[in-house]
Each structure stands twice: as C-alpha cells, then as structure tokens.
Chain A
C-alpha cells in the first residue's frame, strides 16, 4: 500500500515526491553551501521581489498612462457629442 500513501501526498504537488525533495535539497546545498537561514533569506527575497517588481513597473508607467488616451475615450466622446446634439435638437 506504499503507492497509496505516496499518491495521496504526491497529489499535493509533483515537487512533494520525497526522492525529488531530497534531490532538490542536495543540489541547493551544493549550490549555496551555507546554512538554512541564508537560503531562506535568499529565496524569501526572490519570492517577495515578484510583487515588488510589478508595483515598481506600474508606478514607473504612471506618466505614460496619464499621457496616453483611454481606448474608449473616442467612443465616449462620440456618444457624449451625439447626446448633446440630440438634446439641442429636442430643445
């Protein structure tokens, strides 16, 4: 029944396979060769850098966004003008 156990755990994700986990850890130990805290800090930094990068790009783009017209502005303006013309005719 070992396969049943490994199935249940492996369904939490492919990387949860014990052999694979052991292999990943060995490779990372070889690469970093430091204590676990250093790896935690480094990986934590990589993880947190993803949202930070997104926010930075968004803020850097603020000027371009304000300069560029909204795609629907043309249509909205057209609709607004049409309504004004309609009201003018009614009056």
Chain B
C-alpha cells in the first residue's frame, strides 16, 4: 500500500506583503485623516482663524496629488521597498515634529509639504503596484484588501486621535500618531519585498510546472499593450478610458464627502446626527463594496464589466438621491452608493496592471490618481459655487450624476479581451519547439 505524505502548504509570502501594506495604509491614512481633529485645539491655542489652518491642509492636498506621479516613477525605478520605508519614516518623523508647531508657517511646511510628500511613498497607487507584482490571478482581491484598509484606517484612527487628544493635549496626540506610524516600519522592513522572483516564488504562489511543458509560456504571457515606460501607455485608448472614468469617480465621491451632510440637513431637512449616521453607514459599506469588487472580478473575470456596473450603480444612487425627496431616499442612496464608493479603485488598478503590465505601473497609477484628484477638486469647487448661486445642491449633484453614465460606457467599452493579459492564450507550438 502506497503511503501518501500530505504536507499543508504554507501561506504564500505575497499575503504577508499584502498584510504589511494593509497596516501601512491603515496607519498612514489614519495619521493624515486625523488632521481635522487638530484644527480646533491648535486654532484656539494660537489664535489662528480656520481659514489660516486650512492653508496647510489645502497645500497638503495639492502636494499629495501632484507628487504621486513622481513617487510612482521612483517606485518603478528604485523599487517599492526603499520608497515605502523612506516614506513611512519621513511621515512618522514629520507627524511627531508637528507637536513642535509654534507658528503657522511651521505647520504649513511640516504638514503641507513634508508630511504630504512623505505620504506619497506608501500611497495606495504604489502599494497597488506592489500587489500587482505579487499577484496575477488574485490581483484585484489583494488590491481591494488594501483599499478597504484605507477606509478602515479612517474609521478607526480618527476616533483614536479624538480620544487621544481628549485624554492628553494636541502636542502629545501628534507624537502618539507619529509613533504609531513608525511602528509599521519593522513590519514593512521584514515583509515588503519587491517581487516573488526575488524569493524564488511565483506570482500567487503558484508551483513551477515542468520546464519542457507549455505552461511556463503561459506564465510569461504579455498583453499586446504592455509597456516599458508610462508615455507609451498614453498612446493607447484603454488608459484614457480608465483615466476618464476615474476622473468622474473623483468628481462624484469628493463632492459628496463635502456636501452630503449639508445637503441632507438643508435640502432634506433632517438633523445633523441623522445625516452623519447615514454618511457613516455609507462609509462602512464601502469596505464591503471594495472587498466584494476585488473578489468578484478575480473569480468571475470581466473587470471592465464590474467597473462599468459600479459606475452605473453610483449613477442610479444619485438618481435616487435627487428624485426621492425623503429620508428614505437618503438611505437608499447610501446603500447603493456605499457599495460603489471605493470599489472603482481595486478594479481600475488591477485592470491597469492587466493591460499595461507592471514595469511602469507605479507612474501610470500615479497619473490616473492625479486625474481622480483633479476631478474631485473641480467638482467640489463647482458644487460650492453653484450652491452659492442657486441656493441648492440639486444642480451640482445633477451635473456630476449625469457624468456617471458616460463613465460607465467608457469603462464598458474597454476591449479587455483583446488587451488584458488575463485573456491572452499561450502559443503552444512555440513552447513545444524549444
């Protein structure tokens, strides 16, 4: 009787890399999101107006958005490990140094420039590019876990900062946040590795098949649009289709981050607490939406179809928001929009990697992220301006809502079957001829 020895397979190292980037995203976004908590105590101590403090925050937004393509380029050239470690160290130290704030210029410099630039290192566009190296079949899932961690970081780290501030002082709270960011350094040091090949592994932890069979060819498959430099990618249609719809994603999410609660209070006549409850519920759902989008896209394929569906869902949610003039309309909107809120991120990132490969992915993702930020920035300004003119949010919300339908068409019309590496088939004759 033949005895078969069964040994359980160890967890693929890529999942440790994923866990490390999850924690990195969690703490770094949390430290950054907590800025709002510090505005009142710092303003009160120094006698600054809120507008003065907002200069630091505004500079932070611009710096962080503009730096992303450059950080992406650094990622592609020097590697993710060095960039993430350096970014985390600089973010942790600059957060601690915020405790020494004595003048508004110091705050502007330290938060608006140093911390915001440092945050570009461990930003999601880079960690998503890292995930794309470690995963192929489970790429969207790994990226979606990272995206969900950002939402979770905001929801846990911000209240943590609030209580820390209440228990101590704003100076100690900054130090505490900085220390938490620095605690992610050992994890990043031990677990962040550039690519599976460096550790003798294959993407997804797949075993290496016999070298004389056709399978190795399948693993080395390339998409027809795979690029060496980011410039090449912008000569083809899919990147414009993705960046265009991502721009709309920015316009439709940012505008609500800012104007949803005022809209619910002023246009729908509900209390601030109820408005916040609905918004909090929507933010909670986005974690499930992000994870679900990644899993479904990997299991059932058709990333661009899921992406189009997400935009369509969000468009439908906006229609409900604008046409159902009651609290029920807000809840329906929050339910549908909540699932679609962050879901675009893992889908866009994984589709970008599937079409353009991973060599220039950091830069390409950084640029598409910039499109997203520009869309968000423009929409919020436009919504505020139109609200001042018309006295209602109906017109600005209608404009951004209308954009979601061409965005869905744009995503749906991406020729994924032709360009995505997932749909390429190996040429068996070439393999056999070796």
Contact = CB atoms under 8 A, between A and B. Distances in A.
Interface of A: 1, 3-26, 28, 35-37, 39-40, 43-44, 46-48, 50-51, 54-55, 57-58, 61, 64-65, 67-68, 70-76, 78
Contacts of A24: 155, 158-159, 162, 276, 280
B283 A15 contact: yes
Contacts of B39: 9
A35 B160 CA distance: 13
B140 interface: no
A54 B158 contact: no
Contacts of A35: 167
A76 B201 CA distance: 12
B158 A15 contact: yes
5 contacts: A22-B272, A22-B276, A23-B272, A55-B187, A55-B190
B187 A13 contact: no
A71 B10 CA distance: 12
Interface of B: 7-11, 16, 19-20, 22-23, 26-27, 29, 32-37, 39, 50-51, 54, 57-58, 60-61, 154-160, 162-164, 166-167, 180, 183-184, 186-187, 190-191, 200-202, 205-208, 210-211, 254, 257-259, 261-262, 272-273, 275-277, 279-280, 283, 376-377, 380-381, 383-384, 387-388
Contacts of B258: 3, 6-7, 10-11, 17
Given A39-B160, A64-B8, 9 more contacts: A13-B154, A16-B33, A19-B272, A19-B273, A19-B275, A21-B36, A54-B23, A65-B10, A73-B208
Interface of B is mostly: helix
Nearest to B199: A70
Contact of A8 (B57, B180, B183): B57
A61 B11 contact: yes
A69 B277 CA distance: 51
B384 A3 contact: yes
A73 B158 CA distance: 46
Nearest to A37: B167
